[in-house]
Amino acid sequence: MKHYELLGCLLALLPALAGCTPSTFEWKEEILLHDGRKIVAQREDVEGGWAEPGQSGSAQKRTITFPDPDIQGKKYTHQITGSSNYLLVDFENGVPWLVVSVGPFSVDTDCPIGSYETFTQINGAWRSVSYSTLPKRFNKPNMATTYTPDMPDLRRRGKILTADEINRIIAAKKKLAAGSYGTTWRLVEKNDHGRSIDCHAYPTVQGGFRK
């Protein structure tokens, strides 16, 4: 009898354990660059950690791979952890730039949650740099950030997320915020509390470039 009781307990736990199983989403995004050109980025999100039965967990890792629009066959790959997400990818004089909105559980950064971490290539490697060095012409996001693991989002279609669809997602976020606040549907200098949005403005990350 005890064996049946134990088996029953294990079966009861299966839905909860399923919530800890990582899920991987792979999709493509068509990204509109500041000069009107478009590139197609390959995206991958690995979701995991604790979640309610039937739902995906929080983000564990996000990876983006995108082509150089000027050099055929050349690609760049970048990865972030936790619930951070990409706001922008663009090129200036052949050099790639990324802006990341820092979220919870991001173990690869010292940046405060809610700040922007800016990356560019220096000597062939990604470096974290001050947001103040981002080219001024990069003044708005060009990547989708509204989706969450359990939304009926466009990642699940197995198709490309077009630049027009991304613009509609960003516009919907702006409408929801009534155009008065928010740091992911626009690029800003300060957050909603009036503090600097730049990760490198904070003492924990001052003192030079980080990978």
**Whether the predicted model's global pTM rises above the 0.95 cut:** no
What domain range includes position 107? Answer: 2-205
Round to whole Å and give the CA distance between 89 and 34.
Answer: 10
Tell me, what amino acid is at 85?
Answer: N
Average pLDDT, the chain: 80
Q: Is residue 71 scored above 80 in pLDDT? A: yes
pLDDT in tens, 21-57: 558 888 899 999 999 999 999 999 887 755 555 555 5
Between 77 and 190, residue with greater pLDDT:
77
Average pLDDT over residues 206-210: 48
Q: Is residue 135 scored above 70 in pLDDT? A: yes
For position 53, what pLDDT does the model report? Answer: 57
Q: How confident is the model at residue 170 (pLDDT cuts 50, 70, 90)?
A: confident
Q: Is residue 60 scored above 90 in pLDDT? A: no
135 located within any domain: yes
What is the Cα Rg of the chain in Å? 19
Number of domains present in the structure of the chain: 1
For position 173, what pLDDT does the model report? Answer: 77
211 located within any domain: no
Q: How confident is the model at residue 160 (pLDDT cuts 50, 70, 90)?
A: confident
Q: Is residue 14 scored above 50 in pLDDT? A: no
Tell me, what amino acid is at 46?
Answer: V
Report which DSSP code applies to 189.
S
For position 27, what pLDDT does the model report? Answer: 87
210 located within any domain: no
Q: Is residue 146 scored above 70 in pLDDT? A: no
14 located within any domain: yes
Round to whole Å and give the CA distance between 64 and 76.
Answer: 8
For position 115, what pLDDT does the model report? Answer: 93
* DSSP annotation string for 20-87: TS-EEEEEEEEEE-TTS-EEEEEEEEEEES---TTS--EEEEEEEEEE-SSSTT-EEEEEEETT-EEE
138 located within any domain: yes
Average pLDDT over residues 131-150: 82
